[in-house]
Chain A
Amino acid sequence: MSTTTEQRAPGRARPWMDLRVLGPIIALIVLIVVGALMNPNFLSYANITNVLARSAFIGIIAVGMTFVITAGGLDLSVGSMAAFIAGLMIMVMNAALPGLGGGLAVILLGIVAALVAGLAAGWINGFLITTMRIEAFIVTLGTMGIYRSLVTWLADGGTLSLDFGLRTALQPLYYGGLFGVSWPIITFAVVAIIGEIVMRRTAFGRYCAAIGSNDTVARYSSVNVGRIRLLTYVGLGLLVGVATIMYVPRLGSASAATGVLWELEAIAAVIIGGTMLKGGFGRVWGSVVGVLILGLIGNILNLTDAVSPYLNGAIQGVIIVLAVILQREGKAGT
């Protein structure tokens, strides 16, 4: 279970045989084949775009989470944060509606509000973790409770709803798109590609891995550990804001039930994708595959009667564990 040897595939294993890389992809392909066999509509354009669009929220967050976990951190607050930002965005837009009219200005204001709130929330997490030196688990457990309570309080225990006219104006953000591909899918793809490049090709990505691997060594190698860690949380906060911008137009509402367990879904996706939970190694494209696996499981279970719906959670659990076992077998052989 050493983290340092993890990054280099064992020399004797040929790269295309490396189960650690192939594990999640195999799981994904198996799910697609199973889905296609179970229901002819599975591969239909409408179903594929549905699954991709609904996976986009967790997907965008999972990309940010990959960096946080790679740098040896954790963020449990993202689901509550998304709910809080969604509530805030709705309130800002409703409040600005009389002054700005129902046009582009209000939508832009809402988008800016969500991004700023995301940045601020991420910065608070990062500041408490790096500067105040509190365990990431504890800080984000705390902020998780805080944001969840705040959104419940803002909504007075009920639901915050976007003004009906505004909802119609905002809807294209989720349902519209370019060339038949909806905005959430495009955004998810762009975020994933940028994330992959940053992780693989930039000093920032390498610093994250170095810090997660051994932060003392990283510090001696003149890496600004605190700053890089802070940046991973700020980046994640920003991406939560981006995900929320896409979430709000879907149903035009936010409540205490918004984004429940998103943090665990994002973390599960990251780990299924091959990132080490204790840090030191991260794979952004793996997280994307992980998100798609989770999204497809739910979709397939809804498309078939083969399994009692009571067992949906069990099936999900089994597949998550299997996907991770596939990767670990590669390591056991080394």
Chain B
Amino acid sequence: MKHLKYTAAALALLAGPALAQDTMVIGVSIPAATHGWAGGMNFHAQQAIDRLEEVYPELDFVLATASDPAKQVSDIEDMVATRGISALVVLPFESEPLTGPVASVADQGVWITVVDRGLSQEGIEDLYVAGDNPGFGRVSGEYMVDMMPDGGDIVVLRGIPTTIDNERVEGFEAAIEGSGINVLGMEHGNWNRDDSFTVMQDFLSRYPEIDAVWASDDDMAVGVLAAIEAAGREDIQFVLGGAGMKEMIQRVADGDSMVPADVTYPPAMIATAIEMTAVGMTSSTPVSGEMIIGSVLVTQENADGYYFPDSPF
């Protein structure tokens, strides 16, 4: 009799992991760290997962980074098939290709949190966490107006041609409208240091007098600043980047006159999304809906609060 009991216990033990219903798996699918901002986003995703695994023993996380949309679709399919995820936090590489696959995951009853880049069909996700792209442009434009109340000539470097970039530029243009600020030229620096170095060199050849530069991104600001320095031009008063790269925040904090401010577009928004999803899975706290993380102007006064020395970005 005793023997039988032991066998049953052993069987139960063996079957245990497979039957355990209380462990829930949250899948996190994000683009690989191919540029600075994505690197910071990867860092914050990993940090959030490490922290939440401690806080919620009943949660298990699976993180996958994809270098293209097709790989991301495969990652998500694998998560559903092999890990039986109960929730998916996804930052789509591109909206269009990911919409169908994410929708079919949602149909299986999985909680969907979409981050930053919206899907092209509405109503699929349960929670949407995103940065404020029009706001990012608006805050940048308002800062330009504040800095140059009498107007001035500026050049603009744009990112990779995407909706994100368009929304930012539209927000910026709306903010500077009627202020006397004149945009001499706009070119795509593709959120890349080398490209923006080249574009800025050519802007400097083309325009003998430039008052300020909206680099619209901190990686691009690095390239722009190097080009200005190499050309030895004194006419440019300042360069406004964006996103909150730690080196740039550092320069803002140090009172560098060429980098007087920065506008945030925090890569840590992925942590917000994972955290809210975890809260939603483990409690009855309602977390569905939309959460827009505002873009904040960082100046010397508040720069310390936006400096993350451990982040790669």
Chain A: residues with CB nearer than 8 A to chain B? Answer: 39, 41-42, 44, 46-47, 50, 54, 152, 155-159, 161, 175, 250-251, 253, 255-258, 260, 298-299, 302-303, 305, 309-310, 312
Whether B230 pairs with A175 at a CB distance below 8 angstroms is yes
- What is the bound-complex CA distance between A303 and B202, given in angstroms? 6
Which chain A residues border B222 with CB–CB below 8 Å?
251, 253
- List 13 A-B pairs, Cβ < 8 Å: A41-B205, A155-B312, A156-B312, A158-B311, A159-B313, A175-B230, A256-B34, A256-B39, A302-B187, A302-B199, A302-B206, A303-B205, A309-B161
Q: A46-B205, A156-B39, A251-B222 are in contact. Are A257 and B198 (CB under 8 A)?
A: no
Which chain B residues border A46 with CB–CB below 8 Å?
204-205, 231
- Interface members, chain B 35-74 (any A CB < 8 Å): 35-36, 38-40, 42-43
Whether B193 pairs with A257 at a CB distance below 8 angstroms is yes
Whether A250 pairs with B197 at a CB distance below 8 angstroms is yes
Whether B187 pairs with A251 at a CB distance below 8 angstroms is no
Which chain B residues border A175 with CB–CB below 8 Å?
230
Identify which of A54, A159, A250, A310 contacts B36 (C-beta below 8 A).
A159
| Min distance, Cβ B148 to any Cβ of chain A, angstroms | 22
- Interface members, chain B 10-43 (any A CB < 8 Å): 32-36, 38-40, 42-43
Whether A302 pairs with B203 at a CB distance below 8 angstroms is yes
- What is the bound-complex CA distance between A185 and B193, given in angstroms? 21
Q: A46-B231, A157-B43, A175-B230 are in contact. Are A251 and B197 (CB under 8 A)?
A: yes
Q: Which of B35, B219, B222 has the most CB of A within 10 A?
A: B35
B188 interface residue, CB < 8 Å from A? yes
Whether A158 pairs with B34 at a CB distance below 8 angstroms is no
Whether A257 pairs with B199 at a CB distance below 8 angstroms is no
| Min distance, Cβ B224 to any Cβ of chain A, angstroms | 11
| Min distance, Cβ A251 to any Cβ of chain B, angstroms | 5
Whether A257 pairs with B247 at a CB distance below 8 angstroms is no
- What is the bound-complex CA distance between A108 and B275, given in angstroms? 48
B179 interface residue, CB < 8 Å from A? no
B201 interface residue, CB < 8 Å from A? yes
Whether B35 pairs with A257 at a CB distance below 8 angstroms is yes
Q: A155-B39, A251-B226, A305-B185 are in contact. Are A41 and B33 (CB under 8 A)?
A: no
Whether A157 pairs with B33 at a CB distance below 8 angstroms is yes
Whether B230 pairs with A152 at a CB distance below 8 angstroms is no
Closest to A299 in B: B202
Whether A251 pairs with B32 at a CB distance below 8 angstroms is no
Number of interface residues of B (CB under 8 A): 38
Whether A158 pairs with B226 at a CB distance below 8 angstroms is no
Which chain A residues border B38 with CB–CB below 8 Å?
157
Which chain B residues border A303 with CB–CB below 8 Å?
202, 205-206
Whether A152 pairs with B32 at a CB distance below 8 angstroms is yes
- What is the bound-complex CA distance between A305 and B222, given in angstroms? 24
Chain B: residues with CB nearer than 8 A to chain A? Answer: 32-36, 38-40, 42-43, 158, 161, 185-188, 192-194, 197-199, 201-206, 219, 222-223, 226, 230-231, 247, 311-313
Whether A157 pairs with B312 at a CB distance below 8 angstroms is yes
Closest to A41 in B: B205
Q: Which of A157, A161, A251, A299 has the most CB of B within 10 A?
A: A157
Which chain A residues border B193 with CB–CB below 8 Å?
251, 253, 255, 257
Known: A47-B202, A298-B198. 8 other contacts (CB 8 A): A54-B197, A156-B39, A157-B312, A251-B197, A253-B193, A257-B192, A302-B187, A302-B198
Q: A157-B43, A161-B247 are in contact. Are A47 and B35 (CB under 8 A)?
A: no
- What is the bound-complex CA distance between A309 and B35, given in angstroms? 22
Q: A158-B40, A302-B203, A302-B206 are in contact. Are A251 and B312 (CB under 8 A)?
A: no
Whether A47 pairs with B205 at a CB distance below 8 angstroms is yes
| Min distance, Cβ B223 to any Cβ of chain A, angstroms | 6
- What is the bound-complex CA distance between A158 and B312, given in angstroms? 5
Whether A159 pairs with B32 at a CB distance below 8 angstroms is no
Which chain A residues border B35 with CB–CB below 8 Å?
255-257
- What is the bound-complex CA distance between A207 and B85, given in angstroms? 59
- What is the bound-complex CA distance between A54 and B230, given in angstroms? 13
- What is the bound-complex CA distance between A250 and B43, given in angstroms? 27
| Min distance, Cβ B77 to any Cβ of chain A, angstroms | 22
Which chain A residues border B194 with CB–CB below 8 Å?
251, 257-258
Whether A159 pairs with B206 at a CB distance below 8 angstroms is no
- What is the bound-complex CA distance between A158 and B40, given in angstroms? 7
Closest to A50 in B: B201
Whether A312 pairs with B43 at a CB distance below 8 angstroms is no
Which chain A residues border B202 with CB–CB below 8 Å?
47, 50, 299, 302-303
Which chain A residues border B197 with CB–CB below 8 Å?
54, 250-251
- What is the bound-complex CA distance between A175 and B226, given in angstroms? 11
Which chain A residues border B201 with CB–CB below 8 Å?
50, 54
- What is the bound-complex CA distance between A297 and B188, given in angstroms? 15
- What is the bound-complex CA distance between A303 and B312, given in angstroms? 34
Whether A44 pairs with B205 at a CB distance below 8 angstroms is yes
Q: A50-B202, A303-B205 are in contact. Are A250 and B312 (CB under 8 A)?
A: no
Closest to A295 in B: B198
7 closest Cβ pairs, A-B complex:
A158-B312, A157-B33, A157-B39, A302-B202, A158-B39, A47-B205, A156-B312
Which chain B residues border A152 with CB–CB below 8 Å?
32-34, 39
Whether B313 pairs with A158 at a CB distance below 8 angstroms is yes
Whether B231 pairs with A39 at a CB distance below 8 angstroms is no
Closest to A57 in B: B194
Identify which of B32, B39, B188 contacts A309 (C-beta below 8 A).
B188
| Min distance, Cβ B130 to any Cβ of chain A, angstroms | 21
Q: Which of B188, B194, B312 has the most CB of A within 10 A?
A: B194
